[in-house]
């Protein structure tokens, strides 16, 4: 006798599809081909992360059109932009009002009134950018400190080398900043910068020094450089990562740089408290 599949309530079927799509990006892509109705159901999951590169510069994966972003940007929670220019970046930010995680990996001029106006409308929790010029106290005024883009920020990655604490000392006025990362390099200035960040950023829990990982390594712990290690603060973690792969892993909820650093710091504090 032939067996037939039981009829399930529509709500249950939808929950099954959504749960399956949440389990992996590959599963979500497969479900998107089932039907137009299924695609619309899981679209917020499919379009949660946008990666926008200049095709001529990076060759991956090619730019999306402005019209496409205008229609679908509302679903974006994570946005990575690289090799672009202001005239491309500003419309993208304007099309994605619900971003919580933003990475801008090119030499942006943060003094641009258009860029500041657009990004000040957003309220991300995570930001990976070159903020060196903007975060000096000469420019990081009280007005800037009160913008949502800074008042809600918990994770900040300084995407370029800092030569002095004075270039970034505005970070001490970010009220919710618990996670900070910066490139690892051999210079005495980094010692002063680290000490001041640990002292003046009131709620800082994790400070990551990061460098480029080898092929096939998304994110790995490495030995902290001698002079940095001498500071002796358990919140300092040295990690090497494949920047693009690590960002995508973190955006998808995987154990990326921040999650691994949190585990390392937590284990150190546990050992310290048990002594």
- 0.85 exceeded by the pTM? no
Enter the tokens of residue 226: 């001698």
Domain range spanning residue 190?
A: 168-275
Residue 186 lies in a domain: yes
Per-residue pLDDT, 61: 41
Domains: count for the chain: 2
Residue 23 lies in a domain: yes
Residue 62 lies in a domain: no
Residue 249 lies in a domain: yes
Per-residue pLDDT, 115: 76
Per-residue pLDDT, 17: 66
Report the greatest alpha carbon distance in the chain: 81
Per-residue pLDDT, 13: 63
Burial 211-236, CB ≥16 within 10 A → b, else e: eebeeeebbeeeebbeebeeeeeebb
Residue 199 lies in a domain: yes
Residue 175 lies in a domain: yes
Per-residue pLDDT, 58: 41
Residue 194 lies in a domain: yes
Residue 36 lies in a domain: yes
Per-residue pLDDT, 236: 93
Which residues of the chain, if any, have pLDDT below 50?
1, 56-62
Per-residue pLDDT, 100: 95
In Å, what is the CA distance from 145 to each residue of 130, 137, 148?
A: 17, 11, 8
Which of 111, 96, 112, 116 lies closest to 49, judged by CA? 96
């Amino acid at each position: 006798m032939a067996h037939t599949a039981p009829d399930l309530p529509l709500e249950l079927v939808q929950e099954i599809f959504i749960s399956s799509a949440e389990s992996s990006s590959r599963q979500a892509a497969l479900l998107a081909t089932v039907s137009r109705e299924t695609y619309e159901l899981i679209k917020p999951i499919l379009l949660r992360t946008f990666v926008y590169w200049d095709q001529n510069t990076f060759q991956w994966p090619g730019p999306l059109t402005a019209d496409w972003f205008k229609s679908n940007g509302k679903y974006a929670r994570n946005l990575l932009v690289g090799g672009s220019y202001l005239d491309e970046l500003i419309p993208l930010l304007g099309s994605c009002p619900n971003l919580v995680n933003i990475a801008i990996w090119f030499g942006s001029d943060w003094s641009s009134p258009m860029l500041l106006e657009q990004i000040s409308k957003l309220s991300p929790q995570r930001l990976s950018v070159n903020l060196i010029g903007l975060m000096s106290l000469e420019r990081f005024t009280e007005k800037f400190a009160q913008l949502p883009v800074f008042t809600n920020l918990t994770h900040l990655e300084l995407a370029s080398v800092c030569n002095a604490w004075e270039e970034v000392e505005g970070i001490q006025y970010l009220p919710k900043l618990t996670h900070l990362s910066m490139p690892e390099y051999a210079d005495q200035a980094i010692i002063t910068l680290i000490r001041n960040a640990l002292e003046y950023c009131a709620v800082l829990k994790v400070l990551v020094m990061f460098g480029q990982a080898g092929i096939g390594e998304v994110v790995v712990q490495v030995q902290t450089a001698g002079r940095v290690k001498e500071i002796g603060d358990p919140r300092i973690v040295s990690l090497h990562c494949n920047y693009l792969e690590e960002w995508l892993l973190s955006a998808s909820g995987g154990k990326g740089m921040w999650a691994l650093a949190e585990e390392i710091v937590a284990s150190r504090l546990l050992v310290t408290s048990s002594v």
